[in-house]
Amino acid sequence: MNMKLTLMNRLDAEERELMQQIQTYEACTMAVLNMASDQIRSLHKFAVEDIVSSLHRMTVELQTELLHLRLEKALCQPSKH
């Protein structure tokens, strides 16, 4: 049982870490969008699009990683039946 608890603690810590990373990427995406709307004339439209797309792609990758981790956690839980 102790080994299972250690695994769950590790998975919980990884989940918190991924959620913080996702929140950071989302905050950066919003910051770029806000900056772009304030300075639209001086920024290169396609460069901004590339930056936002890259941030979004990383967010999706992290969300997929989080999904897999949550599935692993669910499969480690004792049966509730």
Higher pLDDT, 81 or 43: 43
**What pLDDT is stored for residue 66 in this prediction?**
98
Q: Where are the beta strands (DSSP E) in the chain?
A: none
**Cβ neighbours of residue 19 closer than 8 Å, sequence gap 6 or more:** 66
In the 8-state DSSP scheme, what is residue 78? P
Query: pTM for the complete prediction?
Result: 0.85
**What pLDDT is stored for residue 25 in this prediction?**
98
What is the gyration radius of the CA atoms in the chain, in angstroms? 18
Q: Give per-residue pLDDT as tens, 44-79.
A: 999 999 999 999 999 999 999 999 999 999 998 776
